[in-house]
A and B are shown apart, each in its own frame.
Chain A
């Protein structure tokens, strides 16, 4: 494993449910990311947190709500999702998001979400 863990690995939820995805990184990084991976589409960056402050929010619907309580943990709170939100949700971390950083991202195994 890469040092980034995600739970749960699989989640099935109805459109009226509320659930949360959890990500934890053990690499000492100071930036964390949420991506959405759908079949035959490029990875979609959803949110970026650097030093626990949200620095990116790429027009994601409000039914997705991120939370970063510290540099090691990242949550994605889900409510009233739609079937088209079914996808693999990947968490990643890196050291530094500044323009001078060349650091690669380390990814977790993902949560496979199915919305019924």
Chain B
């Protein structure tokens, strides 16, 4: 069975500091991993994905994520946080043997950046 975990409900970071939002997963076979962001009163917006290749994936708004196969993790990172990064972040995963519709989303992590 596929699963994804975001162990932190909330992450608080000061503006200008680096941020990390954690995600771990469990799938059969190789994973396809995604990060989405949700701003208030909006739908989810795609940030980045890992399919294969380089373990460090770069995405929108200066975000990047690092795939670590041995730790089954796909943590979202940004070197210098902005107040405008404050939002709800979702990690999602599916296994290579599953159809694209069987993507599993985590419960979300609320990121709060203080000025």
Q: Chain A: residues with CB nearer than 8 A to chain B?
A: 2, 4, 6, 31, 33, 40-43, 45, 48, 50, 55-56, 90-92, 94, 96-99, 101-110
Contact = CB atoms under 8 A, between A and B. Distances in A.
Given A31-B100, A42-B106, A99-B99, 7 more contacts: A6-B43, A43-B90, A56-B102, A96-B100, A97-B100, A103-B100, A105-B103
Interface in B61-114: 90, 96-108
A48 B106 contact: no
Interface residues of B, number: 26
A97 B51 contact: no
Contacts of A97: 99-101
Contacts, number: 67
Nearest to A94: B100
A99 B9 contact: no
Contacts of B99: 55, 97-99
Contacts of A33: 101
A99 B96 contact: yes
A99 B43 contact: no
Interface in B37-55: 41-46, 49, 51
Contact of B46 (A55, A96, A106): A106
16 contacts: A4-B43, A31-B100, A31-B101, A42-B108, A43-B44, A43-B105, A56-B101, A91-B43, A94-B100, A98-B99, A99-B98, A102-B49, A105-B44, A107-B43, A110-B42, A110-B43
